[in-house]
Structures are given as C-alpha cells and as structure tokens.
Chains A and B, each alone.
Chain A
C-alpha cells in the first residue's frame, strides 16, 4: 500500500492545522518539503534527534529566533537569514560551525510555494556554509497567531583549543576592523516595508561568514581578541557593548567607515544613522595592533571582505565612550541606538 494517497499541491496548496498535528499530513510536509530541501544522511534516518561526531576542540553552541518582516526581501528571505545568523554567531567565536537545528512555527494558510522557496533557500545557505540541518520541528498555529512564519535555529560548532575570543578581551591600542559596508541589510528590509515604499538597489548583505573567519584566524591567530557580527543596533551597539565589557573606549574615524551611497541616502531620508542600522553579513574584529595588517589583508582577499577597513582603535576611557572624528572635522559620540521604530529586521 502506498503511504500517501495524494501529493502535496505545492503550487496552489497551503498549510493547514493538520500539518502540525503529528499525523500523516505532517509527515508528508516534513519529508516532501523539508527533507527534500535540506537532504542529508542525518535527516534521512528520520529520528527525533541526530547523533554525530565532533572533532577535537571546545564545542560552541548558539540559538536565535527569526521573525523578519517582510519574509522575502532583496538579497534573501527568512530561511537564508535563519541559517546565516546562527552560522555567524558560531563563527564569531573563531569556531567552525557544523550542525544546525531548525524549528518552524507556521500560521495556517501559509502557501506551500512560499514555504518551499524558504526551505530551499535554507538548504542552499547551509550547503554554501558547509553546515548540515540535522534535526527540526514543525508547529502550525491558527490564523492570526503568527505573522506567516517564524523560524528558530540553533547550531553547534567546534573551536580549536587555545583560541578564546570574547568581548572582555579588547586591550588599549587594539585596532577596530570591519569587513565591509554598513547598513545594507536594514535598509534593504526597510525599502520593502508596506508603508515605507521607496526604491533602492540595495540588497541585504545576509551571508555566512565562517569561511572569512577561518581565513582571518589563519592570518591573525591569537592576535584576534574578539569578533562580533553587528546585527540589530548596528556597529554602534556592538562597539558600545565591547567598550563596557572590556572596560575601555574607542576612537573611530568616520572617513574610514564604508557606507554605500544608496544606504547613506536612504538613512538620510529616514533620519537614521548608518551606524545604528543592522547588518547580517558583516563582522567587527578587535585585533592586536601588530596583527592588524595581516588580518586586514586576509579580509580584503576574501569575497565577503573586499571593502574591509581599519576604522579606529581602542583607547583608555573610564566612561566607555565610543567617540568618532566626524568627516566634517568635529568630534562626537557614537551612542547606543535608542527609540528607532525598526521592529523585526531579523
């Protein structure tokens, strides 16, 4: 007897409550859509968990929820974002990301076609980043109880012994390196908001940074004190956090900070500071001064670090100020963002 009588109608069908109820419909959705997109030996065994070997080193683990609105945006969608975000959180420890889990909360009525596109993006993002989605979960909630789709991913990776990147490691005199232009993701998302229609060619920078990180670690080794991906709150929030955790301040040069003209123009229009706007494919590295040049060179040699720049240095400061020499010639603080109404960018 055949297990399923009728195939999923991907083109016209949509998710209903039966797809979350544990019955055949759910099994069909998982195997027909998710396994298809993520295809790997661990999922194929069909267990509620996955067992795998990890190499020598310390384990790194992280988790993140994705609620971005809109679900599809220039340069990606919630699926690719859910892989990149978690991969990057692991990579920022200097670690090699290995395995991910993915949990889906789907609102009834969500179109199979959209879900398939999202799952395929996740599969592709995982393959590009050389990680595997080895376990998952699917829940369906009533109409109005979730905004289409929420995804939660967790991941594990391994960091070599002796490499200990952490936010309290910055030292006075360290250089601040960023891997490229700031604000692309946030502006790409905002340009597609229903009530904010403006035309821009900016696409999200959403990307997995683990390969870039591997090259940086190769070049800079123990000279890399820490790395962070400046997502929500942008570069400003990231550097303010590091300043507090490392008990120092930063001096930046605005002229050195790369921002695409389209992003600068959109920020101008919306009254935003590009340093407060989210990125999903950029990193900040705090590097010992003697290692800064080789690390920067390694970044620039990588396709995801072409526009990398040395934007300033760590200084002694009891107040933990992030200060910046403006390109106009004056000085100012780069403060934590406050009060922007930019919900759900990731």
Chain B
C-alpha cells in the first residue's frame, strides 16, 4: 500500500528501536505522553511497547474525541433524537458510547429514534435537503481536525438557505486539555510533573500548526515533538524526545513535516474562527471542566445552533466512582490499576471514557496489549 507501507518498514523500525535503546540513559526514566488516540492506537496495534526499553514509558493521553465526550452530552443528544420531528446525524463511532443508565444512541435508534450514521458533513446536507419537513441535527464532535468540515457544512447550509439543518456542537480543543493535564493537582502533588515530554498531535497540527505548542515548551519546560500516526513516525518522535531530554532541551520539533508547518491551515482556521467561539469551559469526560476546552457557534450563527433552536439544557451525569479514567488520562495510573478494567468494563460494555473507543487507553490495552499483563504476572 503506497504511502503507508513506507512508514511501517520493519528494518527501519528495528534501527530506530536500536537507537532509542542506545541513547536512552538506563539511569533515567522517560515518560512521554502521546496526546492523540491515533497515536495510542498505533502503539498498541503495532506492538511498539515491545520495541522500547523498560525505562521509556508511553502514557496514553485524552486525545480521543469520542472518549472525552461526557455522558450528559450523549443523554442530551438522545433526548433530542427522541423528538419525532428530528433526524439526528452522527458519526458511527458515537453510536455505542454509553450515556447514563446504560443508554446509547444505538439503543435509542432501536427504540425508534431516527438516528442516521453519516460519514461526512455533506451527508447531513443531503439528508436535510431530502427531508424538508424534518429537523436535521448534525452531532458535531471532534478536535481541531473535524471542526473545519462542520464550518463548511454551515457555510453550505447558509448558501443553500437550508432552514432545517442545525449543529449540536461538541468540538473540543487540544491545547487547553494539555494545559489542564499539566496543571492537574494529581500530578503536582507528587512533587514533580510525571510527564517528561509530549508526542504532539498529527492531524490536529495540520490545521493549527506547531506554534500553539510553543507555550508548553516555554511555560512548562516540556519537549514536544509533533508526530504522524504511522508507527515509524512514532518511533522517530520517541527518539527525538529522548534526545531532547538527554540534551536538556525543551523545544517544539516537527517530525510530521510532510503534513504540518508552523502556521497550519490558514483558510481552515479562518473559517473556524468566523463561525465558532470559545466556551468558557467544557466538560471532558475523565478530566472534568476544562477552561476554554470547547467551541460553540457564534451568536451570528445561532440559527444553526441546535442547543438554541431546541432550547437544550446541559445534563450532567457522574461517572462510576470506581472508574479511574481521570487518573489514567493524566498518566497517574495504568488501565490495569483500575478495578473495573476487564471486569465490568470492557469494549462491549464500556463504563468509562478510556474504554469507549478503540483509540482510548483502556480499550487499546484491552484489545491489543492485555497479554503483557499476564506475561508480567507470570515472571513475578
């Protein structure tokens, strides 16, 4: 497969693994957080952990938009979809995300709600055009990468004078969440910050560029390496982080230079800032309220805002108290440290955010890596 196989080459991978082993100081711990679910998935799917020395540890961050969506927002969407006049358009991976009391969009659909899986915002436009007598709501979710397509959809709706299309906006932002993780008391109260560097987002950075991460390098003294989602990208980024730590540098480096530059996609950023504005705070499942952590539609676009049109009220649902997602997302605990992991919480019946999507830390570990827990137990 051209343009993919080149980034999955075993020989190059073994070379990078050798370099990481050679350069990582055995006396030091290297704890790197990969922010994105795409990276988490690549690590697990290709078995990267097996190729890293024991003292280079990857901490799986909160960068999966499905995982961090709070159950209350799912409940709000279900309530909306239960209205007979509404067609709710959602991306497929949202369908099984648990709301409160075992509900999900999939179950609501089975009970009769008109919920349609779409693959792009253009599908939602088509559904709105085909159903002039119904209210079509697009369940918008995702980081900076998926926000521009939602903006384009609103532009198109404007141009086509579609009056029956609105957006239930759940777009979230990466830098505020990274900041929240670094400032979290869980990490501060153990005396020192447990993260020695970040593998920065791939697709998100194609939109926002590398500049927004400079703050982390400067303010928090953390190396950041923006990396692609292919396994060789990851290996190279880890090597670059090891070198920064060894040389006591705290810089933003760009491993993913084939797709990312410093300023990002100016046209996309412009469209987004025309239509969206920051929320004062937005709840992230596992992290709690993140200041400026999400986007909403600007007042000028309120006619496209489902929360306004349908007078939707925020619903709050508490996670299971035994759920350790918050600590796992911050790198303080591992999936196996959670009592629910693999017992009541599995990909079939996810309890917490990290188990919801295949890009979540717990789901990735359960699906691809749990054999290692037993290997370790057998050794000890």
A interface residues with partner B (beta carbon < 8 Å): 195-196, 261, 264-265, 268, 319, 321, 323, 325-333, 335, 338-339, 341
Contact = CB atoms under 8 A, between A and B. Distances in A.
Q: How large is the interface on B (under 10, 10 to 19, 20 to 34, 35 or more residues)?
A: 20 to 34
Nearest to B50: A330
B47 A326 contact: yes
Contacts of A195: 117-119, 123
A341 B95 contact: yes
B355 to A, nearest CB: 10
Consensus secondary structure, chain A interface = loop
Interface stretch (B9-17, B167-175, B290-298): B9-17
Contact of A333 (B4, B49, B96, B367): B367
A329 B119 contact: no
Interface in B1-39: 1, 4, 8, 10, 13-14, 17
A175 to B, nearest CB: 21
Contacts of A196: 119
A250 to B, nearest CB: 11
Contacts of B347: 338-339
B220 interface: no
A329 B13 contact: yes
Contact of A328 (B46, B358, B367, B370): B46
B92 interface: yes
B47 A328 contact: yes
B348 interface: yes
11 contacts: A195-B119, A265-B1, A321-B370, A327-B10, A328-B47, A328-B231, A329-B50, A330-B50, A332-B44, A332-B368, A333-B371
B221 interface: no
B365 to A, nearest CB: 10
A329 to B, nearest CB: 5
Contacts of B10: 327-329
B316 interface: no
A341 B105 CA distance: 13
A258 B23 CA distance: 37
Interface string B218-240: 00000000000001000000000
B97 to A, nearest CB: 10
B17 A329 contact: yes
Contacts of B92: 341
B51 interface: yes
A119 B48 CA distance: 51
Contacts of B17: 329
A226 to B, nearest CB: 24
Contacts of A330: 46-51
Nearest to A259: B1
Nearest to B120: A195
Interface string B137-174: 00000000000000000000000000000000000000
Contact of A331 (B93, B95, B371): B371
B188 interface: no
Nearest to B43: A330
A325 B371 CA distance: 12
Contacts of B279: none
Q: Which of B1, B8, B93 has the most CB of A within 10 A?
A: B1
Contacts of A261: 1
B358 A332 contact: no
Given A332-B44, A332-B45, A339-B96, 16 more contacts: A195-B117, A195-B123, A265-B1, A268-B1, A321-B371, A326-B45, A326-B47, A328-B231, A329-B10, A329-B13, A329-B46, A329-B47, A330-B46, A333-B370, A338-B367, A341-B117
Contact of B367 (A326, A327, A331, A335): A335
A196 B48 CA distance: 32
Given A327-B10, A328-B10, A329-B13, A338 B47 contact: no
B176 interface: no
A325 B46 CA distance: 9
Contacts of B46: 326, 328-330, 332
Contacts of B374: 319, 321
A332 B47 contact: yes
B1 A333 contact: no
A319 B44 CA distance: 19
Nearest to A325: B47
Nearest to B95: A341
B264 interface: no
Nearest to A261: B1
B58 to A, nearest CB: 12
B13 A328 contact: yes
Q: Which of A265, A325, A326, A341 has the most CB of B within 10 A?
A: A326
B343 to A, nearest CB: 14
Contacts of B1: 261, 264-265, 268
Nearest to A267: B1
Q: Give 10 closest A-B pairs by Cβ, nearest first.
A: A330-B47, A328-B46, A330-B50, A332-B368, A338-B347, A341-B92, A331-B47, A332-B47, A335-B367, A326-B47
B4 to A, nearest CB: 6
A261 B93 CA distance: 25
B71 to A, nearest CB: 17
A195 B231 CA distance: 30
A333 B369 contact: yes
Contact of B50 (A264, A319, A331, A333): A331
Given A261-B1, A338-B348, A333 B119 contact: no
A332 B369 contact: yes
A319 B93 CA distance: 28
A293 to B, nearest CB: 27
A196 B118 CA distance: 9
Nearest to A324: B47
Contacts of B96: 339
Contact of B4 (A268, A319, A335): A268
Given A332-B45, A332-B368, A333-B368, A327 B119 contact: no
Contacts of A264: 1
A84 B374 CA distance: 41
Contacts of B366: 335
